[in-house]
Amino acid sequence: MSATRIATFSLISLFALRFCALAQGPATPPPASTQPADQVNPWVAAAPAPGPELCQCESAECTSLSQISSVALHPFASEHFVVLHAAQDTWGRRVAGLLEKANTEFYASIRKAGYDAQPLPNRLIWVCFRGMDDFEQYSRQNDQIDMSWTDGYYSARTNRVALMLPAGAAVRQGDGVEVAAAARVAQFGPQPDTRPAGEDRLDQRWITHELAHQLSFNYGLQKRGVMYPLWLSEGLATNFEADNQGRFGFGRDNTPRRRSLLSAYTHGRLTPLRRFVAMDRLESSGEAQARQDYAECWGLYRFLSQQRPDQLRQYLLTLKALDSGNREGAVLRREFVEAFGPIEQMQSDWEDWLDGLVVAAAKNAKP
């Protein structure tokens, strides 16, 4: 598998293998959000109380995963998540707290948008390794793939998110950690260090981005085993991810993504829709191109959710009904046209929407 194909492993379900549901039964859907997404700050929110004890299947899975790690991994179980980690207890609680808050917002948002969210089939697993060697061994053993280029990903094969603890907390500081950090900068851009004093860094944008992938497949927006175009899966995740102030949720502006999108558009660098909607992976491993592609995914999904919400919802349902397996780019393009209309008209409408963003940005820039 090429490096560019690996780059979309967290978002495109290329595997027909299914993850065996845990035996504890469906998890309770979260309550509706009582606080606007733009007022949520995971740093000041209280950590969640521990959830029910691990069931037998969860306990066995955690034990099996712990055997990969060279240092002891400890589970923290909240209502909807199990965070298996090698950090201090407070770190596991803080991650679980962010996941629970983001989960509540995600569920409320998709219900409000008219999607029939199915209950979570079980608590979702996050595995957080302290050493790069352990992380690499995990990805090879569980996903049969080399993920040394990054420090975190969602796998549709296992239905887990695996990640490296912050580089500053890692046992090994070498090329692997540096490459991983560079890969995340390419995907998300540089992130300020907003961690509380004395705490390991918690990259909220990165965590909520991977969570959006995981929740999309578990709430039924997407189906594991089905191949999805790049713009759709990454559009979902980038439209939900947190900003530097800890605000997350669909419908919010994403300033870094918007600025990157408009810079590419005004300089004539955006990929035409005819080609972009047929992409199932990043076509370049370059940092600037990868960041631009993520921004275009953000913009196209936002454009369709605002201008074609009914067609977008039906498009997701249509793809969900497909059989597992790969599809050619021409098929992805045809499915897009069947859902939204002729590609030439969509290109025109897309550029009109982008022009509106340019005008709005110019007005807001005036003193």
Least confident of 16-20, 36-40, 316-320, 360-364: 16-20
Domain that holds residue 308: 3-365
Residue 207 has pLDDT above 90, yes or no: yes
Q: Provide the pLDDT confidence category of residue 47 given band limits of 50, 70 and 90.
A: low
Q: How many residues does the chain have?
A: 367
The residue ranking higher by pLDDT, 114 or 270, is 270
Instruction: Indicate if the alpha-carbon torsion angle 167, 168, 172, 177 is positive or negative.
Output: positive
DSSP string, 221-250: SS-TTB---HHHHHHHHHHHS--TTS---T
**Residue 170, pLDDT score:** 33
Residue 189 is predicted with a pLDDT of 56
Predicted confidence at residue 187, as pLDDT, reads: 56
Alpha-carbon torsion, ordered 244, 187, 169, 68, to 10 deg: 130
159 φ/ψ sector (left φ>0, alpha ψ -120 to 50, else beta): left
Distance CA 157, CA 125 (A): 13
What average pLDDT does the segment 178-191 reach?
47
Could you give the C-alpha distances from 41 to 219, 253, 348, in angstroms and in order? Answer: 24, 16, 38
Could you tell me which residue, 46 or 109, shows the higher pLDDT?
Answer: 109
* Res 21: pLDDT: 29
168 has a pLDDT exceeding 60: no
Residue 148 is predicted with a pLDDT of 79
Query: Which tokens is 260 given?
Result: 């990157």
Query: Quick one: how far is CA 140 from the chain centroid?
Result: 21
Q: What one-letter code names the amino acid at 20?
A: C
pLDDT of residue 314: 97
The half-sphere exposure of 336 on its side-chain side, counting CA atoms within 13 A, is 28
SS3 82: strand
Arithmetic mean of pLDDT, 314-325: 96
For the entire predicted model, the pTM comes to 0.82
What is residue 326's predicted lDDT score, i.e. its pLDDT? Answer: 93
Distance CA 236, CA 217 (A): 11
Q: H or E segment at 291?
A: helix 287-307
Number of domains in the chain: 1
CA Rg value for the chain: 20
Instruction: Specify the pLDDT at position 88.
Output: 80
The DSSP symbol for 131 reads S
Question: What is the band of 202 on the pLDDT scale with cuts at 50, 70, 90?
Answer: confident
Averaged pLDDT score across all residues of the chain: 81
Q: Is the pLDDT of residue 37 over 80?
A: no
The predicted model gives 251-269 an average pLDDT of: 95
Q: Is 129 helix (H, G, I), strand (E, B) or coil?
A: strand
Average pLDDT over residues 119-137: 91
> Which pLDDT score, from 0 to 100, does residue 52 have?
81
Query: Mutual orientation of helices 329-340 and 309-320 as an angle, nearest 10°?
Result: 140
Q: Three-class SS string for 142-197?
A: HHCCCCCCCCEEEECCCCEEEEECCHHHCCCCCHHHHHHHHHHHHHHCCCCCCCCC
Residue 31 pLDDT? 53
Does position 146 have pLDDT exceeding 90, yes or no?
no
Predicted pLDDT of residue 247: 85
For the segment 43-57, the average pLDDT, to the nearest whole number, is 69
Which of 88-102, 112-126, 194-208, 265-279 has the least mean pLDDT?
194-208
SS3 content of the chain, % helix, strand, coil (to 5): 50, 5, 45
> Which has more pLDDT, 150 or 347?
347
DSSP 119: P
Structure tokens at 159: 């239905």
Dihedral angle of Cα 100, 102, 107, 108, to the nearest 10 degrees: 110
Q: Is residue 84 predicted with pLDDT exceeding 90?
A: yes
Q: Are 310 and 318 in contact (CB under 8 A)?
A: no
Rounded Cα gap, residues 199 and 283, in angstroms: 37
**CB-based burial, 251-271: b 16+ in 10 Å, e otherwise:** ebebebbbebbbebbeeeebb
Nearest of 105, 104, 73 to residue 89 by alpha carbon: 73
Q: How much is the average pLDDT of 330-340?
A: 98
CB 241 within 8 A of CB 205: yes
In this structure, are strands 81-85 and 160-164 parallel, antiparallel, or unpaired?
unpaired
Q: Which residue has the higher pLDDT, 19 or 196?
A: 196
On the question of pLDDT at 39 being above 50, the answer is: no
Q: In 3-state terms, what secondary structure has residue 81?
A: strand
